[in-house]
Structure 1
Amino acid sequence: MLEIPHDPILSLSQAHAFEQEYFNGDEALQWDAMTRAGEAVADSALRDMRELRTIPHRPKLMVLVGKGHNGADALIAARRFLRTIPTARAAIWPWTAMEECRPMTQRAFKELIDFATKRLEVLPIANEMNVEGLGEILSSQAKGRGVDLLIDGLLGMQARPTLKSPLGEWIKLLNDSESISVRVSIDLPTGITESSAQETEPFRADFTYCTGIVKLPVIKNFNQQWVGRLRYLDLGFFAQFRPNHFSGNEKILRPSALTQLRKLRPVVSDKRDYGHLLAIVGSRELGGAALMCARGALRAGLGLLTCCVPESLHASFVAACPEAMWVPMPETPKGGLALEGLGKVRQFLDRADALVAGPGIGSEGETHTLVREACKLFSGPLLLDADGLRSEIIDSLADQDHLVLTPHAGELDRLAGRGGVENFLSSFQGVILRKGAHQQVIYDGAILHLFSGSSLLARGGSGDILSGIVGSLLARGGRSSIDCVALGTFWHGRAAEALARQHGQEAVTTTQILEYLSFALRNDF
């Protein structure tokens, strides 16, 4: 059962109905929500910009302003950005005359002008220009270092699949420009909808900030190339008010859920109170996976860790990670875990609170048989990852309720076989962590989306660390498997965000994620 804080993901019609009911014509409440949304967008953008580079001394911001409330959010974000960095400058590029905008957009514009007139440049109205004119304006803004951050506040829920001229051409110019460092959208990139029938190119965001409500189009596969990295900026709408006019199985984890792991330990406690994890991991060729899995588990607060590894790796692993108990196992001629080691594994099954199997074990059939037989003998929470994700292992388990699978797209296709991925997901009785650009926890016909992480994670070994983290939470107990998978994965993603903001996405190694687990847990961001 899912018990950690989460909110529904709404269709566009549901979101519109929710906002009508929530605000109920209260303009003061609406302005307060807009202010919190815009400021949250600016704060998040200032963090996410650091994944590309250190923010320059005099950053340049460009804001695309539509006539609706997305435009107001973007203008409020600009004011926050300029207040945070007194040396920053901003160019405001409106789609239409400000007099034609909604009252709150006009108010946001006035407050921005009053706050930072000398640091603002208001560009000509885009809707009154031809493509050549739009290109000339963009070229003039690109001089020097170019635009450090572009905020898309043009269209929101009322967008249509086709962007009329010159809006479509304007968006394409912005997408193609190499002088814009980071592009962000508020709620929805301009031009995307719930339909895949898009005749014109939507705005291509590097980050999309879902303020208050996550709307269904951003999680559609056909929109993934446009939304970029998704962030959920929770404004507390659903904590205060539960509408009765939406339904669906798509949910979003609240970022605040991670604080459930942030607690002082009781004074009277010992290592046995924090779980004992047994890991069947590694082979002679893939020993690093075993080591990363072990380190991930230990960094996640585990009390005791026992790792069964090929005997040829034992001495070096004891030296590299003395906190774990390394069990030397018989190995095959090719360096995998041999079936004759099953007796050794059985000695630890009754002592363990959870079992992780798969990272680095390789593709030998004998090793898979060992894992299968060990899993059949274990009745607690069980996580299968990497080469442990085999149909012959999963199908042999009579009780799948405590089973957790962590496949990426290729592994999921292999497991699903001819029956297809959707049939496999709907029929599986346990919990599946569907890895990808945006992780999904799938259980009981529902999908919990996790908006944390960085493209920094597209490296070998990140999944092995994740298996260790989730395995640690499973062993510590006190939570459902669903909650453990969601919290562990979100934590892992937040650590990657912190690492990327400190060192960028390129010049890092996978194991550096471990050094940022503490920061991700101890800080709100």
Structure 2
Amino acid sequence: NGGDGFVIARYLAQHGVDVSVYLLAERSWLKGDAAANFNLAETLGIPIVELPDELSFSRYKEEIAGRDLLVDAILGTGLDSEVRGYFREVIDFMNNARTPLFSVDIASGLHTETGRPCGICVQADATATFGFAKLGHMLLPGAEYTGRLSVIDIGIPPYIVQYVDPKNQLLTAGKIRSRISPRDLQAHKGQTGHVLAAAGGIGKTGAAAMTAMSALRAGAGLVTLAVAQSLNASIAAQATEAMTHPLADDGKGFLGGNNADEILSLLSDKTCLALGPGMGTEKDTEKLVHELIEKSPVPVVADADGLNNLAANTAVLAKKRSEVIFTPHPGEMARLADANTADIQADRIAAARAFAQNHQVHLVLKGARTVVAHPDGRAFVNPTGNPGMASGGMGDVLTGMIAGFLAQGISTESACHLGVYLHGAAADIMSQTRGPFGYIATDVMHHIPETIRQVIDGTFKDIAHDCHPIF
């Protein structure tokens, strides 16, 4: 990154800025572009101070800390080991100097692929990167170390991007906008999809209701809830625009294997199955989930107990008849992958991609910067959403949204992308209008149509609105 630092110093000097370069090496160590740009900076009379070790650096700490801005051009995107010794001391000093920090390409010490500090990392106020954003800029905690991100166009031709066919991409408002088609003026509810949701159990009737209502808010024409008979009245009262189909439960308050045939028959005229929210994890419910995943004639969106009931036997996925979308949070993902949550969070993209490819499912790994991985190995990072979403029911809303889009005939991939992006975008709008926290899942649910409108007309801006969609 040193070469970039010298170039920046040169341009600043040419614009009349008082600039000095503090070289954390001896000039004789420089090679290639770094050496060439060192010579240009020196020719222009830019002060360059060689500080190759801790002792020499200590003599200039006060001077460096007194600058109005520090440009971090120490370590670049190739870093793959822990920052130690001298560089660690310098980064620690910079972070504590209380001087604004501007990083070049990536904050020194930040891992480009995972977004995790390599022992220590510059806490940048802003970062300028070249060509494309890097994964480490978008994933957390990398985004927190990056600060405000700007992507500089360096003239890479569009056909090169298409030729490379990158496996990691960023969901953008433009990409989402292109997947929302206008309704035919003669459209009616029979043409806009019919979701069947098998959901709800004792103490979690709201999960079923939110799933159903979110599918409707996402544009599904009809939703039918397959629910335990003893809970029908409660669920029907909460989901007034949805239909219910009560199933025998012997008063137990949960669905079981004996309901499988009836649910499968209900799917004969449906376009999507939403499975799992609030169902419970009784042994008989586990049997039901296995049978529905295996035999469903329509695409399945599985969340919560639709996942927990599969964790001990993911082999059933090899028998599935239709496409399946999983929407786990990190804890559910850990159970599905027989791993621990820390390992999942350490490399979210790798975890999501591996499971999606191994089991040929679409995997939505929820959390800060939700990852959507597909069976072909491609992965997408979502830039929308905020910490105010850390409350119960948000996952039920997402399940309903994805199912609602899927039911309308939208592709499985696009339904995942639309659901994830718009779910987070609705929460971002709530955060701006209601406050950073305290809004709840139904607030987000009710705001789905307005969010769709803002994305269509371009008034919604996510945090990465000026970034290229390729990593």
Q: Under a length normalisation based on structure 2, what TM-score does the superposition of the two structures give?
A: 0.70
Report the Cα offset of residue 194 of structure 1.
4.2
Distance in 2, matches of 1:344 and 1:244, equals 47
Q: For 2:339 and 2:89, how far apart are their aligned partners in 1?
A: 43
Q: 2:366 aligns with which of 417, 421, 435?
A: 435
CA–CA separation in structure 2 for the residues paired with 1:370 and 1:460: 25
Query: Of residues 309, 316, 320 in structure 1, which corresponds to 2:238?
Result: 320
Structure 2 runs not aligned, ≥5 long = 23-36, 42-48, 52-56, 344-350, 462-471
Aligned residue runs from structure 1 range 107-506, under 5 A: 133=62, 137=66, 157=76, 171-172=91-92, 175=95, 188-194=106-112, 201-204=120-123, 212-218=131-137, 224=142, 227=145, 240-243=158-161, 246=164, 249-331=167-249, 334-389=252-307, 390-391=310-311, 394-397=314-317, 398-399=319-320, 402-417=323-338, 424-452=355-383, 453-477=385-409, 479-506=410-437
Instruction: Note the C-alpha offset of 1:448.
Output: 2.0
Q: Aligned partners of 1:331, 1:323: CA distance in 2, in Å?
A: 24
Q: CA offsets, 1:430-480, max 9 Å, x none?
A: 211122322222223423222322222232221111111111111111x32
Q: Structure 1's 371 and 151: CA in aligned 2 closer, same or farther, altered over 3 A? A: farther
Indicate the SS of the match to 1:326. Answer: strand
> How far has the Cα of 1:345 moved from its partner?
2.1
2:413 partner amino acid = I
1:175 deviates by 4.5
CA 1:339–1:428 in 2, change beyond 3 Å: closer, same or farther? closer
Whether the aligned pair in 2 keeps the contact of 1:400 and 1:429 (CA below 8 Å) is no
Q: State the identity as a percent.
A: 25
Q: For this pair of structures, how many residues does the alignment match?
A: 410
SS at match of 1:396: helix
Distance 1:190 1:332, change over 3 A: farther
Secondary structure in 2 matching 1:242: helix
Structure 1 residues 322-331 or 212-221, which shifts more? 212-221
What CA distance in whole angstroms lies between the structure 1 residues aligned with 2:11 and 2:450? 33
Per the alignment, do residues 133 and 359 of structure 1 end up closer, same or farther by CA in structure 2, a change over 3 Å counting?
same
Q: Separation in 2 of the partners of 1:257 and 1:265?
A: 18
**Partners of 2:91 and 2:120 within 8 A in 1:** yes
| SS of equivalent residue, structure 2 residue 372 | strand
1:91-113 alpha-carbon deviations (Å, 9 max, x no partner): x996749xxxx9xxx9xxxxxxx
Are 2:451 and 1:520 equivalent residues in the alignment?
yes
> Which amino acid counterpart does residue 160 of structure 2 have in structure 1?
R
SS of aligned partner of 1:356: strand
Q: Is the 8 A contact 2:103 2:126 kept in 1?
A: yes
Cα displacement (A) at 1:290: 1.4
CA–CA distance in structure 1, aligned partners of residues 376 and 394 of structure 2: 27
CA apart distance, 1:482:
1.6
Contact between 1:426 and 1:445, CA under 8 Å: does it hold in 2? yes
- CA deviation after TM superposition for structure 1 residue 295, in Å: 2.2
Whole-Å Cα distance in 1 between the matches of residues 142 and 271 of structure 2? 38
* Other structure's SS at 1:323 match: coil
Q: How far, CA to CA, are the matches of 1:95 and 1:356 in structure 2?
A: 61
Deviation at 1:267, TM superposition (A): 1.1
Contact 1:152 1:189 (C-alpha < 8 Å) held by counterparts: no
Q: Is the CA contact (8 Å cut-off) linking 2:199 and 2:278 kept in structure 1?
A: yes
2:29 alignment counterpart: none
Tell me the equivalent position of 2:347: none
Q: Name the amino acid aligned to 2:271.
A: D
Distance 1:224 1:290 in 2: 36
**What amino acid is the match of 1:359?**
P
- 2:316 counterpart SS class: coil
Following TM superposition, by how much is the alpha carbon of 1:335 offset from its aligned partner in structure 2, in angstroms? 2.3
Structure 1 residues without counterparts, runs of 5 or longer: 1-11, 17-64, 77-91, 107-124, 142-149
Structure 1 residue identity aligned to 2:404: S
Preserved CA contact (<8 Å) 1:401 1:430? no
RMSD: 4.7
The one-letter code sitting in structure 1 at the alignment partner of 2:120 is E
Q: In the alignment, is the contact (CA less than 8 A) between 1:277 and 1:306 conserved in 2?
A: yes
Which has the higher mean CA deviation after the structures are superposed, 468-477 or 492-501?
A: 492-501
The CA deviation at 1:244 is 8.0
Distance change (3 Å), C-alpha of 1:369 and 1:244? closer
For residue 413 of structure 1, report the CA deviation from its aligned partner. Answer: 2.1
Residue by residue, what CA displacement relative to the aligned partner does 1:261-285 show, whole Å, maximum 9, x if unpaired? 4443211110011110100011112
Partner of 1:145: none
Kindly state the Cα deviation for residue 343 of structure 1 after the two structures are TM-superposed: 4.8
User: Alignment partner of 2:447: what SS?
Assistant: helix
TM-score (ref. length: structure 1):
0.63
Displacement of 1:154 in angstroms is: 5.5
Aligned partner of residue 438 in structure 1, secondary structure? coil
In structure 2, C-alpha distance between the alignment counterparts of 1:351 and 1:152, rounded to whole Å: 62
CA 1:503–1:207 in 2, change beyond 3 Å: closer, same or farther?
farther
Q: 1:414 is aligned with what amino acid? A: R
**Quick one: structure 1 residues 186 and 510, their matched pair in 2 at CA, closer, same or farther if it must change by over 3 Å?**
farther
Provide the C-alpha distance between the structure 2 equivalents of 1:468 and 1:71, rounded to a whole number of angstroms: 54
